Amino acid sequence: MVVRNISVLVYNRPGVLACVSQLFTLFETNIDKITIGHGGSPGISRIQIEVSIEDDKLEMVISQMAKLSDVLQVGMAKTGAQTRSFWIVAYSLFITIFGINVASPLYSIYRTEWQLTSGMITLLFAAYVFSVIPGLFIFLQLAERFGKRKILIFGLMAALSGAVCSTLANDMPILIMARILQGLAVGTFICVSSSTLNELERNRNWQTSSLVTAFAVTAGSSLGPFMAGILAQFAPMPTKLPYIVYGGLVILGMIGMSTVKVSYRKAHRVRFHGLNIPKTIRLHAYTAAATSFIAWGVVSLFLSVIPSYLNEWAGKFNFILSGGMIASIFALSTFSQFLFKRLSVMKMMAVGILLLSLGLMGVAATLQHMSIVLLITSAICVGLGHGPLYAGSLVSISTEVADDIRGDIISFFYLFSYTGIAFPVILLGYSAEQIGIETSVFLFALFIEAGALLSLLLWHKTKTEKDGGRMR
């Protein structure tokens, strides 16, 4: 049973308190605590109700309460502890994602010192995905048994272990182990933090919590490589100090997470199951997931292959350029999420795909002319295109499904997203060893463009079916 705080703004008239209280009686729910105060205007009062209630009953009570003639406004009251917990979870998600791309500006060092091929670099980059994907299936279900806070603390412990292994790494296998540990952390937070943030959000608004999730992911992805690039350029121990700083930030998250209060109803046993994608929303779910696959597939090119070749194009190791370019992609992605959020889904997808296509053309031109200016321009286009494709798809599908299957839908969405991060760029890396980087990037671009066109057609079909359902 979850304790909720409900705030009701009412006209101060005789009988209004009785009407409000009667609703809880109808739903066989006892009020734990009730207080009444001034509502800010003459004749207006605010009723604060603390009640232990299930989510399904809570929604029905609030819905019925809003229909009472003397009720002006009803919603979830946000306590100080709840607000603090919300932002601690958001910070912990941010810092977990922050660590995933700390290594990206350093790939040129690893490539030179460890004699790595382009295929090895892409495998090193994508290794974390192989532990993220299983995590998307199991961690949310484990949270039902052990509680979300414990699972999130486990995720932070995995992130800290990954930071320690990265600091101590002196060859590729140890760094791959570090990446796998980081993947466990990401898999934990991606599926569990989304539902936790929604539970802690005042009005249980999935659009708000989804935007915060998307912002934390893109901001963390941006600032991690930027920090690593600055430290590698100006500070000692370029392959160690960035991970030490990151480990310290994770420890702060662990301290904060120990104070988080998240209610849960303990399941007596965990029954692992596949992802439940109802037939009625299957097209929408596959379309959103495929769009995210494409968006992250292009970004992964800038996180792995391009940083490892950047020193050849720039004529020297330039960690600030490498980290700054990656940071700019995610910073622009974050910016474009807010810039285009008022557009319809179809317009967001069209704008995102256009900008992503221009970015891929810029990468191809960069390989022909070895131009840093062209590379930076293409990074700007990719960043601006990534935002509406990723965030737009996530918000679109998150707000269309029922609470009881939303966790499965989000896990499914991120399953496709992380598949897009790993497998296309691994194929590109190993094909570059056989047919050259230019030809490989050209084929990669053709694959992405074909997928982008298909996703745009699927979005149109999704919209048509949705509009047809409303007419019926």
Dump pLDDT digits (tens) for 179-188: 999 999 998 8
Strands 31-38 and 71-76: unpaired
**pLDDT at 321 (0 to 100):** 81
Q: Sign of dihedral through CA atoms 458, 459, 463, 464? A: negative
Instruction: Kindly report, residue by residue over 370-416, the tens digit of the pLDDT.
Output: 788 888 899 999 999 999 998 889 888 877 776 667 777 887 888 89
Mean pLDDT for 267-295 is: 79
What band does 467 get if pLDDT is binned at 50, 70 and 90?
Answer: low
Higher-scoring residue by pLDDT: 90, 4:
90
Q: At what angle do helices 148-168 and 172-200 cross, to 10 degrees?
A: 150
Taking alpha carbons only, the member of 107, 89, 427, 409 closest to residue 258 is 89
Per CATH, which fold does 2-76 belong to? Alpha-Beta Plaits (3.30.70)
The amino acid that residue 384 corresponds to is: L
**pLDDT at 471 (0 to 100):** 42
Checking if the pLDDT of 265 tops 60, the result is: no
**pLDDT at 214 (0 to 100):** 77
Please say whether the beta carbons of 224 and 166 come within 8 A: no
pTM exceeds cut of 0.75: no
**pLDDT at 77 (0 to 100):** 63
Find where tokens 């066989």 sit.
28
Please say whether the beta carbons of 185 and 126 come within 8 A: no
Domain ranges of the chain: 2-76, 80-471
Strands 44-53 and 31-38: antiparallel
**pLDDT at 205 (0 to 100):** 60
Same fold, 2-76 and 80-471: no
**pLDDT at 244 (0 to 100):** 96
Could you give phi then psi for residue 400, rounded to 5 degrees?
A: -105, -5
**pLDDT at 248 (0 to 100):** 96
Find where tokens 């737009």 sit.
392
Mean pLDDT for 97-108 is: 89
Checking if the pLDDT of 272 tops 90, the result is: no
Distance CA 363, CA 66 (A): 54
Lowest pLDDT segment from 21-25, 209-213, 221-225, 295-299: 209-213
Could you give phi then psi for residue 72, rounded to 5 degrees?
A: -90, -40
Please say whether the beta carbons of 428 and 441 come within 8 A: yes
Mean pLDDT for 28-50 is: 83
Higher-scoring residue by pLDDT: 206, 301:
301
**pLDDT at 245 (0 to 100):** 96
Q: Which helix (H) or strand (E) holds 45?
A: strand 44-53
Checking if the pLDDT of 93 tops 90, the result is: yes
Higher-scoring residue by pLDDT: 237, 368:
237
Six token digits for residue 323: 């980290």
Please say whether the beta carbons of 304 and 104 come within 8 A: yes
In terms of phi and psi (left: phi > 0; alpha: psi -120 to 50; beta: otherwise), the region of 77 is beta
Strands 44-53 and 71-76: unpaired
Checking if the pLDDT of 451 tops 70, the result is: yes
**368: burial class by Cβ within 10 Å (0-12, 13-18, 19+)?**
exposed
Distance CA 472, CA 460 (A): 19
Please say whether the beta carbons of 464 and 472 come within 8 A: no
Q: Sign of dihedral through CA atoms 129, 131, 137, 140? A: negative
Find where tokens 């299930």 sit.
54
Checking if the pLDDT of 472 tops 50, the result is: no
What band does 43 get if pLDDT is binned at 50, 70 and 90?
Answer: confident
Q: Which residues contact 405 (CB under 8 A, 6 or more apart)?
A: 276, 277, 278
Taking alpha carbons only, the member of 70, 63, 337, 64 closest to residue 203 is 63
Distance CA 201, CA 203 (A): 6
Six token digits for residue 55: 């989510």
- How many of the other CB atoms lie within 10 Å of CB of 204? 18
Looking at domain 80-471, its CATH superfamily turns out to be MFS general substrate transporter like domains (1.20.1250.20)
Q: What is the mean pLDDT of the chain?
A: 84
